[in-house]
Chain A
Amino acid sequence: MSILVVADHHNADLVAATANTVAAAQKIGGDIHVLVAGEACQAAAEAAAKLEGVAKVLVADHAAYNHQLAENLAPLVADLAKAYSHVLAPATTNGKNLMPRVAALLDVAQISEIISVESADTFKRPIYAGSAIATVQSSDAVKVLTVRATGFDAVAATGNAAIEAVAQDAQDAGLSSFVGEEIAKSDRPELTAARVVISGGRGLGSAENFAKLDPLADKLGAAIGASRAAVDAGFVPNDMQVGQTGKIVAPELYIAFGISGAIQHLAGMKDSKVIVAVNKDEEAPIFQVADYGLVADLFEVLPQLEQQI
């Protein structure tokens, strides 16, 4: 068996979830190759070559692959896929955008967001917002999978794989073009990779109040997340949303301030190792999953907590 992992990256660096995806590939077993397709993406390729367990990194460097537009990238991946038993990508927005298009070109099914590898053809994945876990078996010739990063511990960056350019007649399909992007700049760790996540909900009350999470986050080196209610209320931008349709996180410590705990939010964080909930409402469903609950006014708790930690 041989496995192709499609890296998610920003040309200059590798997206952390790629290392978790390589870990999932290791569980399947076999030669692991990583594809880095982008433009001027040598640095990302070098980072991929360091991932433990990777035998070879394939680099497709071409303007058509910049920004990972699915229309241009899917034919490349589908073409390479014919030499592999499995094609994996992290379940990031890039991976989820690309892989179904690859699968359709190969006329195979795609299995989304696996959280465990039972055998080379059998995987577990959450359905109904994590209310159930399905075990699915694929008899497709090439198994096309996306991997939920929180299901697998990232491999170490201690490897030294060969890097090889793949000669492809890269073509811009001419269907879509990149215009621009607005990426939130932050000195904080990335939400899905942070050791500690502090999240705020509707209970914060306003965008100004949301900033009151900052001092504690600074002290703990934490990423800041939000519930959908807080995003919909306009307190914070949507890329901070933790939940079924937002980011799936599983940090060592998750602290929820003023979040009631709708099932869609719990789906995004209930695999965290330790959950702390601070809420005025003692009936809030978040307390049903919290290891430590504190029924209190979060605005009184925040400064005290910052002082005492």
Chain B
Amino acid sequence: MKVLVAVKRVVDYNVKVRVKADQSDVDLTNVKMAMNPFCEIAVEEAVRLKEKGVATEIVVVSIGPKKSEEQMRTAMALGADRGILIETDEALDSLAVAKLLNKVVADEQPGLVLLGKQSIDTDNNQTGQMLSALAGMSLGTYASEVAIEGEQLNLVREIDGGLQKLQLKLPAVVTVDLRLNEPRYARLPDIMKAKKKPLEVKTPADYGVDTASKVTTLKVEPPAERQAGIKVASVEELVDKLKNEAKVI
């Protein structure tokens, strides 16, 4: 079975993001970039499926600027066999991304598409769900366990209040949550080998997809800053403040 994994280049999760002075966007000048953490988990799961002999080929796809190749090479060092970069410098919305991925799905006919549940930049949490609708595939979001049995995928997913078990018919779109696995690090020899793996570069126009968004960002501002409060010296003082100053107990 062929597995398609989508990865996104985003700001490193340790970076404290700041808003530009003109409030047009966040300032990403000279900021460390990395693979979206949820995408790393998706790649790891694909690699594990290959190690189990379930996946026969892993195709990594990314939509973004030229430099997304760095993250794709990382995915290849971890075990992806080849890559497709759909290069664009525009920040596409989730619908446009899902439409492009749907074209790749049509070309590649994967049995399973793995994505992160959300990217930590826009925090949209939409692409996998949208792709499943466009491709008419079954959908499993927030996966914490994935097992493939013949034409079925047994899924455990994280929901409010606990866990839900679903059975999905393949081909399926699965978006992964934090606890599905713990991604490994790439080994140096694999990083070297990854440089030689095939990486095809395309553009949105090659797929004939209109990527214009109907949603415009008018302004990006910092959140209301919370004023640091005071340190209390004892439990007595704390209880007194909560009762008589904050009046919450």
Chain A positions 165 through 204: 1 when the CB is less than 8 Å from some CB of chain B, otherwise 0:
0000000001111111111100000101000100000000
Cβ-closest chain B residue relative to A125: B123
* CB contact between A238 and one of B18, B144, B166 (< 8 Å): that residue: B144
Chain B interface residue count, CB cutoff 8 Å, equals 78
Q: Are B214 and A174 in contact (CB under 8 A)?
A: no
- Chain B residues near A181 (CB-CB < 8 A): 159, 162-165
Question: CB of B106 within 8 A of chain A?
Answer: no
Assess A176 versus B166: contact at CB under 8 Å? Given A135-B219, A140-B215, A294-B235: yes
Question: CB of B230 within 8 A of chain A?
Answer: yes
Q: Are B166 and A140 in contact (CB under 8 A)?
A: no
**CB contact list, B7-32 vs A, under 8 A:** 11, 13, 16-19, 26
Chain A positions 91 through 105: 1 when the CB is less than 8 Å from some CB of chain B, otherwise 0:
011101111111111
Closest Cβ–Cβ distance, residue A158 to chain B (whole Å): 26
**Cα of A175 to Cα of B223 in the assembled complex, Å:** 41
Question: CB of A122 within 8 A of chain B?
Answer: yes
Q: Are A112 and B124 in contact (CB under 8 A)?
A: yes
Closest Cβ–Cβ distance, residue B237 to chain A (whole Å): 8
- Chain A residues near B169 (CB-CB < 8 A): 174-176
Chain A positions 234 through 270: 1 when the CB is less than 8 Å from some CB of chain B, otherwise 0:
0001110000110100001100000000011000001
Q: What class of interface size applies to chain A in its complex with B?
A: 35 or more
Closest Cβ–Cβ distance, residue A11 to chain B (whole Å): 14
Q: Are A101 and B129 in contact (CB under 8 A)?
A: yes
- Chain A residues near B200 (CB-CB < 8 A): none
Assess A110 versus B94: contact at CB under 8 Å? Given A122-B218, A132-B220: yes
Closest Cβ–Cβ distance, residue A284 to chain B (whole Å): 12
- Chain B residues near A177 (CB-CB < 8 A): 166-167
Assess A70 versus B139: contact at CB under 8 Å? Given A128-B26, A184-B162: yes
Q: Are A92 and B160 in contact (CB under 8 A)?
A: yes
Chain A positions 75 through 106: 1 when the CB is less than 8 Å from some CB of chain B, otherwise 0:
00000000000000000111011111111110
Q: Are A135 and B218 in contact (CB under 8 A)?
A: yes
Chain B positions 118 through 154: 1 when the CB is less than 8 Å from some CB of chain A, otherwise 0:
1011111111111111100111111010000000001
Question: Interface-forming stretch among B78-86, B186-194, B239-247?
Answer: B239-247
- Chain B residues near A179 (CB-CB < 8 A): 154, 165-167
* CB contact between B158 and one of A137, A239, A252, A282 (< 8 Å): that residue: A239
Q: Write the residues of chain B forming the contact surface with A, with a CB cutoff of 8 angstroms.
A: 11, 13, 16-19, 26, 93-95, 98, 117-118, 120-134, 137-142, 144, 154, 158-169, 177-179, 213-223, 226, 228-232, 234-236, 238-239, 241-242, 246, 248-249
> What are 11 sample pairs from A and B whose C-beta atoms fall under 8 A apart?
A93-B159, A100-B94, A108-B95, A122-B218, A128-B11, A138-B215, A183-B161, A238-B144, A253-B249, A290-B229, A293-B229
Q: What 8 A-B pairs have minimum CB-CB distances, sorted nearest first?
A: A100-B129, A291-B229, A175-B138, A104-B133, A100-B126, A104-B130, A179-B165, A183-B162
